[in-house]
Amino acid sequence: MKYLSTGVMSIQHTFGQNVKSARKASQLTQEALALEIDINQAHISNIESGNIKDLSIQTVGRLAKALNTTPARLLDGCHLD
């Protein structure tokens, strides 16, 4: 896991874990989610593992909509590094 010097998980990792939890709660595969929001499955995998530096607000919104949640829930627990 990627931690900040304060011991808090990075925003990317926390966001990724939130996306993964919401996806599993929605009973979607990475592939199904990717198709739903028109990106490739590898991008979903990178998001969920925290291996992404920049993510557009549009993508955050599309993820939230596809996962029947809000952008705020996907960002819950995220701390700026």
Using DSSP, state whether 7 is helix, strand or coil.
Answer: coil
- pTM here? 0.86
In a domain? residue 4? no
Range(s) of the domain holding residue 38:
11-73
Q: Is the pLDDT of residue 60 over 50?
A: yes
Predicted pLDDT at 45: 98
As for how many domains the chain has, the answer is: 1
Which of 55, 64, 67, 81 has the alpha carbon at shortest distance from 25? Answer: 67
In a domain? residue 57? yes
In a domain? residue 1? no
- Using alpha carbons, list the distances in angstroms from residue 52 to 34, 56, 65: 15, 11, 20
Which of 2, 12, 3, 79 has the alpha carbon at shortest distance from 46? Answer: 12
In a domain? residue 22? yes
Q: Is the pLDDT of residue 24 over 80?
A: yes
- pLDDT over 90 percentage in the chain: 77
